[in-house]
Chain A
Amino acid sequence: MDAVRAVAEPRRREILRLVWDGERSAGEIAAHFEVTFGAISQHLSVLRSAGLVSVRRDGNRRLYRADREALKPFAPMLKQMWSARLDRLAGLAEAAEAAGGAERDGTGRPDAGTREDR
């Protein structure tokens, strides 16, 4: 599973937060949730295969922590945000234009007459 789909699940995002600043064992992580240990173990496995957490053996414990390197690309994520929002904006503007609802008063601000705080 890729990283995007891996973090689509809210519980997996919560797990990532738990192990963001330091290592925790699967048991410690599971203690934060109401679901079974098995379910958490499954989530950890997904996060691991997506490369979002790394695991280290300490005796018979397995310690997990977020792989911050994998989560590093800040600008690409922000770019995704703006891309998704501008796609929505484009769709709305094109629909408005096509509907002929874009009659203007010449100011380029169709709502200017209805604003209460001018």
Chain B
Amino acid sequence: MTEVVVVERLIRARPETVFSFFTDATRWLLWQGVDGVVDARVGGAFRLDVTGDGWAAGRFVEFDPPRRLVFTWGWEARGAPVPPGSSTVEIELLATAEGTLLRLVHRDLPAAERELHRMGWEHYMGRLAARARGDDPGPDPMTGR
């Protein structure tokens, strides 16, 4: 049993502009992570320090600017519920009249009964903490209309 997470955003910018934030570590770190390396090409690897205390790692499976990228995703902490290589993130950018519809699908996540052991969940708690500090996603533009 695995779970899937889907997040969509309507972004008022062209797909090329949106995609430019995936092209290397400097750009990527503007929106996710505090440190890391990103070798943005098919077969290239990335490592990101996503909270300051947890590293996520993966490899690009598809890299097709400015429309689509697919990469594996996992956390390196021993015992993490989602180890590197175990799950897959697929991001599609669809040009619309208003800009870009970004659709992120995170697949192959462990089902609820396996998740969140000791080493792994500090990461999620950190995320929740960031959210609690005011890093609030706000209304979803896709559902707010």
Q: Which residues of A does B touch, CB under 8 Å?
A: 3-5, 7-10, 13, 16-17, 20-21, 68, 71-75, 77-90, 92-94, 96-97, 102, 104, 107-112, 115, 117
Contacts and interface: CB of A to CB of B under 8 A. Distances in A.
Contact of B21 (A21, A75, A92, A107): A92
Chain A at the B interface: mostly helix, strand, loop or mixed? helix
Interface of B: 3-5, 7, 9, 11-21, 23-24, 26-27, 30-32, 39, 50, 65-66, 81, 99-100, 102, 104, 106, 109-110, 112, 115-118, 121-122, 124-133, 135-138, 140-141
Contacts of B20: 93, 96, 102, 108-111
Contacts of A20: 117-118
Given A74-B116, A93-B13, A104-B16, 20 more contacts: A3-B128, A8-B128, A17-B118, A20-B117, A68-B116, A73-B112, A75-B109, A77-B128, A78-B5, A80-B127, A80-B137, A84-B131, A88-B31, A89-B9, A97-B13, A102-B17, A108-B15, A109-B20, A111-B20, A111-B26
